[in-house]
């Protein structure tokens, strides 16, 4: 993918993430892979509603900074996911309120309440709490690194996809499922055979 286009796309999706209240203030980070060796990521400590294409930071897949700016503190788990999943071209991490509510309670998210949840997400693991930016957090993300989405205890949510649109859609759906779960209480999941059928669609 062309670098200029990747920067514009990231700025557009950051505004969308912020406007949809999937993250607040400087929380969260997002990246796209532009070649097998290079990634564009959001900068550290900036409000996601105010980012411009030129604010994004270029990194090598090994973490070398290749442009102006300081990359997100969480860039190492983004790079780890790209290295382990050749089909992943985008990673979204943020702090949506309903996902974080479940994550603070350390309550597993159930995405098999509706067909859409089962098709887009299915089983979503919860990874244990570790300090943001730490080696332990990178290791915990990597251990579940083949999941489309995960919750991070006391912290937030993470999705990946073949495109930024796919990773973003998974985040929107994840937050919807978290909200739904909090509203419907102990409603039953779809039957197992139906979930199985949907997950193959
Ligand atoms: Zn975070």
Q: How confident is the model at residue 21 (pLDDT cuts 50, 70, 90)?
A: very high
18 CA to centre of ligand 1 in angstroms = 14
| The predicted structure's pLDDT at residue 186 | 84
pTM of the model: 0.95
Residue 141 in 3-state DSSP? helix
Query: Which entry of 74, 166, 173, 175 is annotated as an active-site residue?
Result: 74
28 CA to centre of ligand 1 in angstroms = 5
12 CA to centre of ligand 1 in angstroms = 20
132 CA to centre of ligand 1 in angstroms = 7
DSSP state of 8: H
Burial of 137 per CB tally in 10 Å (0-12, 13-18, 19+): buried
Q: Which domains does the chain have, with CATH numbers?
A: 3-199 (3.40.225.10)
Q: How confident is the model at residue 26 (pLDDT cuts 50, 70, 90)?
A: confident
pLDDT tens sequence across 152-191: 999 999 999 999 999 999 999 999 999 999 999 889 999 9
Residue 110: Cβ within 10 Å count:
19
Query: Is residue 74 annotated as part of the catalytic site, yes or no?
Result: yes
| The predicted structure's pLDDT at residue 19 | 93
188 CA to centre of ligand 1 in angstroms = 31
pLDDT tens sequence across 70-123: 999 999 999 999 999 999 999 999 999 999 999 999 999 999 999 999 999 989
CA atoms within 13 A on the CB side of 101: 13
| The predicted structure's pLDDT at residue 122 | 85
- Per the DSSP assignment, residues forming a β-bridge with 120 are none
């Amino acid at each position: 993918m062309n670098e200029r286009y990747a920067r514009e796309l990231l700025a557009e999706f950051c505004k969308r993430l912020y406007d949809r209240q999937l993250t607040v203030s400087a929380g969260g980070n997002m990246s796209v892979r532009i070649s097998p060796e290079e990634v564009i990521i959001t900068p550290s400590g900036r409000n996601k509603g105010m980012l411009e294409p030129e604010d994004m930071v270029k990194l090598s897949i090994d973490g070398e900074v290749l442009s102006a700016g300081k990359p997100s503190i969480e860039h190492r788990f983004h790079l780890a996911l790209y290295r382990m999943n050749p089909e992943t071209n985008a990673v979204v991490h943020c702090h949506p309120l309903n996902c974080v509510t479940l994550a603070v309670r350390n309550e597993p998210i159930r995405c098999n309440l509706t067909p859409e949840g089962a098709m887009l997400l299915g089983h979503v693991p919860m990874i244990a709490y570790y300090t943001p930016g730490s080696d332990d957090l990178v290791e915990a993300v990597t251990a579940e690194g083949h999941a489309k989405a995960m919750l991070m205890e006391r912290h937030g949510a993470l999705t990946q996809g073949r495109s930024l649109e796919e990773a973003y859609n998974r985040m929107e759906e994840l937050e919807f499922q978290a909200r739904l779960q909090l509203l419907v209480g102990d409603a039953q999941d779809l039957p197992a055979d139906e979930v199985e059928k949907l997950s193959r669609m």
